Amino acid sequence: MDWSPLLISVATSLAATAVTLVAGLAAAAWRQNRAGAGAALIDGIFILPLVLPPTVVGFLLLLLFGRNGPLGKLFLQFGATVVFSWPATVIAATVVSFPLMYITARAALEQVDPHLLQAARTLGASEARIFRDVALPLAWPGVLAGTILSFARALGEFGATLMLAGNIPGKTETIPIAIYFAVEANKVQRAMAWCAVDVGISIVLLGGLYYWTHAQRLRRERWGQH
């Protein structure tokens, strides 16, 4: 059995999660200090990939990164193309998993006691230092949960990846794409095997997340009793 879809999926999900973690935290921190119609519109744009069909997201990405798209033309000036390449799988996975990271990071940051942040400002700390040394450590459990959910979402991405990266064995063929084309070729056992791998990884991730959050809640309850 060719294990390249597993390696490609894991590498893609790790890369997408790293980008999503940084971008999601930055977007959540930016949104936290802003209000109004403009901020709400940006909020909707950030969450949009979560509600749009993946094929629509993939088509929009294809318009951006294709040879005639604005970003595609920019890359062509440097002799590079994004479409039907491994970076395309990372871009697709990043875009569809970003909303989960953004939503959970923003919710976690909003749970931080504002009095602690104000106390840090009173002591003369900069906003960057307040975020790094006060807000982020307190919001880290939620951020970690968002990171795991983003990884799981990136691992299961199919529609946008197929539209932007295609199905190139050993290069862009992720586990969901391998399952789809195995079914198309009537290779049911191969599709079932990849389904079992995908489900197994997802159960381990989500089960680990549940166990960790449950342990954190019990720890906080013990501290509260003391």
CATH number of the domain that 151 lies in? 1.10.3720.10
Total domains present in the chain: 1
Check residue 222 and give its pLDDT. Answer: 67
> Using CA atoms in the order 66, 71, 74, 78, what is the torsion angle rounded to 10 degrees?
-70
Check residue 130 and give its pLDDT. Answer: 87
Per the structure block, which two tokens stand in for 164?
Answer: 């932007």
Q: At 208, which amino acid appears?
A: G
What distance in Å separates the CA atoms of residue 67 and residue 93, rounded to the nearest whole number?
20
Say if residue 221's pLDDT is above 70.
no
Per the structure block, which two tokens stand in for 79?
Answer: 């002799």
Mean pLDDT, the chain, integer: 88
Report the Cα–Cα distance between both ends of the chain, in Å, rounded: 55
What distance in Å separates the CA atoms of residue 181 and residue 118, rounded to the nearest whole number?
55
Say if residue 224's pLDDT is above 70.
no
With 0.85 as the threshold, say if the pTM is over it: yes
Say if residue 186's pLDDT is above 80.
yes
Q: Which domain holds residue 20?
A: 4-225
